[in-house]
Chains A and B, each alone.
Chain A
Amino acid sequence: MKRWWIWIIAGLLPLQAFALTGEEVMKKSQAAFLYPGTDFKARVVMKLINKGGQERVRELTMLRKNMGEAGGEQKYFMYFFRPADVKDMSFMTYKYPAKDDDRWLFIPAINMVKRIAAQDKRSSFVGSDFTYEDVSGRDLEDDNHVIEREGKVGNRDCYVVKSTPKGTDADFGYKLTWVDTSTFLPLKEEQFDKKGAPYKVFTADEVADVQGIPTVVKRSMKNLQTGHRTEVAYLNTGYNLGIEDSLFSERFLRQPLRKWVE
């Protein structure tokens, strides 16, 4: 009993260890995962795999440019190579914090640029298990974030953050994110539906060093309720390429510059 105070301190330790709040962890995670560099390019290969193992492949080039600080406005440009019926299609998003995105689609079949509605950010991205928000980020203000505990993914130490939507429009009830304590990349995410049943699992399957920036180059999302999953590989990744602001325009939506999309 002489050492009673040790037990008190031990009991307080996990709380003291969290010098960061849940919001701060998620903010750093967003910066590490979705905002590194001034711009970013990757050739994205998505495999959509159904319960029976049948595969469909979506292949595109993704370009991203930050318009300011992490957490601020971004522009995305995507150019599709596969499947054949969407070849040459391009898609552009101006992403704003705390406001609906602007989205444009170029439909090569009739050579038309169309502005498209974007209020449903929880929609599937090109039919995959990833939503638009999974690709380009969810507003941090949409959820309450609390650090639940510390955990490990493989041998990496992680904060386990519970995020609960403030509104009712999300398709999930809450999610747990395993955020690497040193890189702040999300290594795993478990989403639960509104009844609390396991819904979707995200895993960062490979993290590579790209120009000194830890980057998730392989990731997957599995829908536990349907058995459908999507595996994504980022190839030919690069940061700070000097992508011009003018690329994100109707002109290049119609005629993408080869040097950027190839």
Chain B
Amino acid sequence: MMSRLAALCFVLLLAPPAARAEVALSGFLQQNTAANTVAANPDGRHYKWLEERAQLKLDASGGAWRLLAKGDFSYDHLGRQDQSELREGYVDYTAGNWDMRIGRQVITWGLGDLVFVNDVFPKDHEALFAGRPLEYLKRGVDAVKLGAYPEFANFELVLSPGFRESRIPDANRFHLYDPMPAVMNRETIKPGQGDVGLRIYRDVAGYDAALYLYRGFQRTPSMRPDSMTAPTKISYFYPQLSVYGASVSGRAGDGVLSLEAAYYDSRQDRSGSDFTVPNSQTRLLAGYQIQPAEDLSLAFQYYAEIMQDYGAYLAALPAGFPVEKRWNHTVTARLTQFFRHQTLRLSAYASYNASNGDRFVNPELRYSFTDKVWGAIGANVFGGKPWGQFGQLSHDDNVYLQVRFNF
């Protein structure tokens, strides 16, 4: 990994456009600690995260070309091996009414705040739950992105030759729900092919409207035992998925209203009768954001997941497995308040699932000591049923610290 990164940096530095390019080098040094407040990790450690990290960013542009490479080098105190990675590394070409980005890039679609309807791109859920800075919530994809901008609409086509999954919390660090804890033999099968997404967007009467199409795979794995009665092996796999969605946002009253919907077509199990594959699903999101006073903003979301073939799901679910409701209603709220000329920021995010009691709260205080140094303290608090998305993490509450020096 390190040698690949070094080779890439070398190639990038010598790339022909660099000859006449403006080149900027920047980066940061960071310390990030998250300590358990309720229980030790399954592996017995007391920290969810404990690392020092350096990021180097190279940004070069010349004419219609731009090259950006962001590489992270980090040292993990909790026993993970080489944590260095290429966060992003791409080349842009910009023409009059089209453009192209090739390489590893972060793509975010949709309007949700920690709720994902049309954002089908890989995430790092572990980063969110382990108190890492927000940018680590997203993982880059290795893709070609083509943009076309004719008069009547804007098109963004994303072609990934290889599938990249979301990172789920590590079972050594988080108490994850496991319906078959006795089965030790486990394997992960990744899709052998890539995926494709298309976003079409434009202004419609002062509102930002978008359509989304995606054909690929679920980013989080499903598990399939080799036998229901006497399982000896569990396979993790990424079921085939297509998503068809739309969103609109604009001013409404004193605030900004966001509406988003998507249909998740579970192609691998359209009848809904395979319990190991997620049922086809409709996702709905309504968000409203206001700014009631200076430096204060409030945002609320209602989010629903609706199972398509609920009867088939119930019929196929083996005895002893937790039963999900057909409708899953979640409400979220976020408060953000700035103080001291916007150098001190208090934010709090809370999510509550009214269908299964799942809840997640993340308060954070962030201060910019100078223009180059900032620090944040915060907490992640989880609750709910032992198999819920957040409920299973109820022993994983933590407080975290992030300190970054930019250069």
User: Which one, B1-9, B12-20, B225-233, B338-346, is touching chain A?
Assistant: B338-346
Q: Which A residues from 74 to 101 make CB contacts under 8 A with B?
A: 82-85, 87, 100
A9 at the interface (CB under 8 A from B): no
Find out whether the CB atom of A115 lies under 8 angstroms from the CB atom of B250: yes
Secondary structure type dominating chain B contacts? strand
Find out whether the CB atom of B294 lies under 8 angstroms from the CB atom of A120: yes
User: Which one, B73-81, B130-138, B172-180, is touching chain A?
Assistant: B130-138
B289 at the interface (CB under 8 A from A): yes
Contact of B291 among A82, A123, A128, A228 (CB under 8 A): A123
B392 to chain A, nearest CB (A): 25
A108 to chain B, nearest CB (A): 8
Find out whether the CB atom of B134 lies under 8 angstroms from the CB atom of A110: yes
B354 to chain A, nearest CB (A): 26
Count of chain B residues with Cβ under 8 Å from any Cβ of A? 51
Residues of chain A with a CB closer than 8 A to B250's CB: 102, 115
Find out whether the CB atom of B254 lies under 8 angstroms from the CB atom of A119: yes
Find out whether the CB atom of A255 lies under 8 angstroms from the CB atom of B92: yes
Contact with A along B77-116 (1 / 0, CB 8 A): 0000000000000001010000100000111100100000
Find out whether the CB atom of B28 lies under 8 angstroms from the CB atom of A84: yes
Residues of chain A with a CB closer than 8 A to B137's CB: 110
* A-B CB contact pairs (8 Å), 7 listed: A56-B368, A57-B371, A84-B26, A110-B138, A111-B107, A114-B111, A119-B291
Q: Which B residues from 382 to 407 make CB contacts under 8 A with A?
A: 404, 406-407
Find out whether the CB atom of A115 lies under 8 angstroms from the CB atom of B341: no
CA distance A122 to B293 in the complex (A): 9
CA distance A193 to B341 in the complex (A): 19
Contact with B along A208-240 (1 / 0, CB 8 A): 000000000000000000001000000000000
Find out whether the CB atom of A124 lies under 8 angstroms from the CB atom of B295: yes
Select from chain B the residue with minimum beta-carbon distance to A57.
B371
A2 to chain B, nearest CB (A): 62
B74 to chain A, nearest CB (A): 17
Contacts A117-B256, A122-B294, A262-B22 supplied; 13 other A-B pairs, CB < 8 Å: A82-B371, A84-B372, A85-B374, A100-B251, A110-B108, A115-B208, A116-B256, A117-B297, A120-B292, A124-B294, A124-B341, A124-B342, A258-B66
Select from chain B the residue with minimum beta-carbon distance to A102.
B251
A207 at the interface (CB under 8 A from B): no
Find out whether the CB atom of B154 lies under 8 angstroms from the CB atom of A250: yes
Nearest 4 CB-CB pairings of A with B? A127-B342, A84-B406, A109-B135, A83-B371
